[in-house]
Amino acid sequence: MQIETIVYIILSVIAAVFIAGFQYVKTVKSISKKDVLFLFLRFMTTFSFLMLLINPKFEQITLQIEKPKLVVAVDNSNSVNYLNQGKQAKALLKNIKSNQGINNKFDVSIYSFGNVLKLIDSLDFSEGQTNISKALTQLSQLHKDTEAPIILITDGNQTYGNDYEFLSTLQKSPVYPVILGDTIQYTDLKIKQINVNKYAYLKNQFPVEAIIVYDGDVAVNSKFTISNRNITVYSKQIRLTKEENSLILNFNLPANNIGLHNYLAQIETLSTEKNKINNKKQFGIEVIDQKTKIAIVSDFTHPDLGALKKSIETNELRSVEFLTPTEAILKIDDFQLFILYQQNQNFEELIELLGIEGKNIFNIIGTKTNLDFINANSKNYDLEITNQTEMYQGIFNSNYAPFYVEDIGFKEFPPLNSVFGSIIFNAPFETILNRSINGIPTNDPLLSTFEVDGRREAVLFGENIWQWRAQSFLTHDGFKEFDNFIGQLIQYLSMDNQKSRLTLSYETFYNSGTNVLIRAEFFDKNYIFDTRESLSITVMDERSQNSKTFPFILKNSYYQADLSTLPPSKYKFTVRASNDNISKSGEFTILEYNVEQQFVNANTGKLRRLAKNTKGESFLIDNTNSLFTALMKDSRYVAVQKSHKKNLPLVDWKYLLAIIVFCLSAEWFLRKYNGLI
């Protein structure tokens, strides 16, 4: 308490004594016991009121014992049940919950993981994928302020994500793996992976890469085959030994018919094998008879050109070629789309020819663009010429209608360099990104599209888009988001100009156990996204001829149907709009493949290395009593006494109000009783 406050309290005592004495002492020559009582009550009342005015603050210190955290993460994936370890995992979890010593020493939090990490509700071991790395990373973030040991109950078999063994340098908390599954090594011959493109071109051959792995001590001979509709299209005798325990086969298969084709790769099983499921693997390919060719036309080299080529060619159905304006004139019939990078006078003949042919254009304008040439040759927009440059950032327009675009974090992307000046459009246009200067939005577009006389065009008013691709990699840990955005733009510009009110987005092949999602967009007659429509999809299994109908769910700016419950098969589907007589059909295949059933036993070695690198300890499921003993004896995990100091103002002390009310009431009652009122 401050000295100034103490002085005020002393003065309040003096003032209260003076005020009380002024009434009860000055008029009498001698003080009776009754007057002393009145004097005391008036003093307490006055002093209490003065203390409320001063409102001093008092420190309150509370002590709290905080137990160390203990995190339990249980693998809830299919592989645990497949290895017959579900009962053991549930029994261990029950022991942890009921162990009095553990619960007295630790504050226990229990999670389950598979595809995602979540607080445990129940264990059914139904997750189709396992990401141990993601689970450990998220647990570390949740408990980053404390050293919380993690009991990891798993078989150690991860199906996707970063290698969890190499997280040890970032993992602050010790990890105690409890190993589920048989640690005995069985003889196993399996097809580890089939690598093949999604698409092949008619009358061509497509490459296939098969990786075969063998675990065993004795040399074995087997036969690898690939069949299509029970017809063998490839076969090869193989031999593997303990030393040469892997084999990579590269070969080509013919693409003779258009459409979806399923293939079955299999290897003859050994008599001593325990797991025979991983001796087979399905894969599929779609045979098409065309490929979209795109020309990037420029008079000079720039990093943007390479970034665009890489983004566009992530789709195997597209190819990109670099051309000069003169070369493009000679090959104008070979391409469906022309990307014109920073035009100048050398583009004049090409621009005229593109207009005659009605070719779609993606025009990129930057600091080296000849604006006089642009204004002279473009009928759809004019640029103000100021001979100055500016850095523009993009602001995403969520109301963009021509096709679905997702905001991939444009606001955080580096600014693009462009010419300074306003833009005037002479034709109806749609804006994907607006300009922003130093965080201040403007009405000028940064990226726009428009359609005039059946010809589509997009304009990007800025250069250095390669920096966007690099930033996307840093933000999303990969190029996928940026490449998808460029792919959507290229698809819009290179497709048939006839607009469709119903558009679909889906994969031709899905693995069972993964999400099977069909996305749709529906537009009204003005080609504005319509949220009022009711869409449904009817799916027919070609094997059983059974049909099912699923509704689409509206999600922001698109509709989505989840067909993940469908069993592996080949399906034909039709999407219908209930209010309009509009429908679209397609087909896809769900391949029979369960990645969680590809393992014979637990990944003991990797789990033990994880424990060692994080200063933890690994245990077998049959030796969990040692786990409890180790945790109880470890001196790193002790309770901490924490003190919390609060400054409490006197005005919050409710008893002071009670004292004032009591003193005033008692004084009034006694004075009334004694006839003084």
Residues 618-637: what's their mean pLDDT? Answer: 88
- pLDDT surpasses 70 at 596: no
Measured distance CA(294)–CA(458) in Å, rounded: 14
Output the six-digit token pair for 272: 């001593």
Task: Indicate the fold that domain 68-183+604-638 takes in CATH.
Answer: Rossmann fold (3.40.50)
How does pLDDT run across 364-375, given as a tens digit for each residue? 999 999 999 999
How high is the pLDDT of residue 169? 61
Measured distance CA(534)–CA(147) in Å, rounded: 52
- pLDDT surpasses 90 at 541: yes
Residue type, 416: L
Measured distance CA(451)–CA(276) in Å, rounded: 57
How high is the pLDDT of residue 463? 94
As a whole number of Å, the end-to-end CA separation of the chain is 41
How does pLDDT run across 332-387, given as a tens digit for each residue? 988 989 999 999 999 999 999 998 888 999 999 999 999 999 998 888 888 888 88
Residue 528's SS3 state is coil
- Angle value at C-alpha 659, between 656 and 662, nearest 5 degrees: 150
Measured distance CA(384)–CA(376) in Å, rounded: 12
How high is the pLDDT of residue 146? 79
Residues 6+ apart with CB under 8 A from 200: 206, 255, 285, 286, 287, 288
- pLDDT surpasses 80 at 98: yes
Output the six-digit token pair for 646: 């609060």
How high is the pLDDT of residue 26? 55
How high is the pLDDT of residue 264? 92
Look at the alpha carbons of 80, 83, 86, 91 in this order and tell me if their dihedral is positive or negative. negative
CA dihedral 198, 203, 207, 210 (to 10 degrees): 80
Residues 6+ apart with CB under 8 A from 531: 554
Residue 433's SS3 state is strand
Measured distance CA(58)–CA(72) in Å, rounded: 42
Measured distance CA(139)–CA(176) in Å, rounded: 14
How high is the pLDDT of residue 83? 83
How high is the pLDDT of residue 150? 92
Measured distance CA(123)–CA(113) in Å, rounded: 10
Q: Are 324 and 297 in contact (CB under 8 A)?
A: yes
Determine how many CB atoms are found less than 10 A away from the CB of residue 157: 25
| Adjacency order of strands within the sheet including 150-154 | 117-119, 107-113, 69-75, 150-154, 175-179, 619-620
How does pLDDT run across 54-77, given as a tens digit for each residue? 887 777 777 777 888 999 999 998
Q: What percent of the chain has pLDDT over 70?
A: 96
- pLDDT surpasses 60 at 497: no
How high is the pLDDT of residue 168? 62
The larger pLDDT score, comparing residue 653 to residue 45, is at: 45
> What is the rounded radius of gyration, in angstroms, for the C-alpha atoms of the chain?
38
CATH of 292-494, one of 3.40.50.880, 3.40.190.10, 3.40.309.10, 3.40.50.300: 3.40.50.880
- pLDDT surpasses 70 at 170: no
* Top-ranked range on mean pLDDT: pick from 197-211, 224-238, 510-524: 224-238
| Adjacency order of strands within the sheet including 502-505 | 502-505, 517-522, 558-562, 553-555
Domain ranges of the chain: 3-62+645-673, 68-183+604-638, 292-494, 502-595
Output the six-digit token pair for 81: 């049940």
Residue 83's SS3 state is coil
Measured distance CA(565)–CA(551) in Å, rounded: 14
How does pLDDT run across 219-258, given as a tens digit for each residue? 999 999 999 988 999 999 999 998 999 999 999 999 888 8
Measured distance CA(596)–CA(593) in Å, rounded: 9
Measured distance CA(451)–CA(563) in Å, rounded: 35
Which pairing describes strands 318-323 and 360-364: parallel, antiparallel, or unpaired? unpaired
Q: Are 627 and 307 in contact (CB under 8 A)?
A: no
How does pLDDT run across 382-436, given as a tens digit for each residue? 888 888 888 999 999 988 878 778 889 998 899 999 988 888 888 889 999 999 9
Residues 572-594: what's their mean pLDDT? Answer: 88
How high is the pLDDT of residue 538? 96
Q: Are 85 and 620 in contact (CB under 8 A)?
A: no
Q: Are 471 and 417 in contact (CB under 8 A)?
A: no
| CATH, domain range 502-595 | 2.60.40.2550
Measured distance CA(577)–CA(554) in Å, rounded: 13
Two domains, one topology: 68-183+604-638 and 502-595:
no
Measured distance CA(38)–CA(20) in Å, rounded: 8
Which pairing describes strands 558-562 and 569-577: parallel, antiparallel, or unpaired? unpaired
Range scoring the smallest mean pLDDT among 85-99, 307-321, 643-657? 643-657
Q: Which helix (H) or strand (E) holds 438?
A: none
> By 3-state DSSP, what share of the chain in percent is helix, strand and coil, each rounded to 5?
30, 35, 35
Residue type, 40: F
Q: Which helix (H) or strand (E) holds 97?
A: helix 86-98
Longest dimension (CA), the chain: 128
Output the six-digit token pair for 310: 């890489």
Measured distance CA(677)–CA(661) in Å, rounded: 19
- pLDDT surpasses 90 at 518: yes
Backbone angles phi, psi at 465, to 5 degrees: -70, -15
Measured distance CA(228)–CA(100) in Å, rounded: 60
Query: For residue 565, what is the DSSP state?
Result: T
Range scoring the smallest mean pLDDT among 227-236, 419-428, 501-510, 590-599? 590-599
Mean pLDDT, rounded, of the chain: 86
How high is the pLDDT of residue 499? 59
Output the six-digit token pair for 600: 């014979």
How high is the pLDDT of residue 223? 95
Measured distance CA(147)–CA(137) in Å, rounded: 14
How high is the pLDDT of residue 30? 63
Q: Are 415 and 386 in contact (CB under 8 A)?
A: no
How does pLDDT run across 456-489, given as a tens digit for each residue? 999 999 999 999 999 999 988 889 899 999 988 9
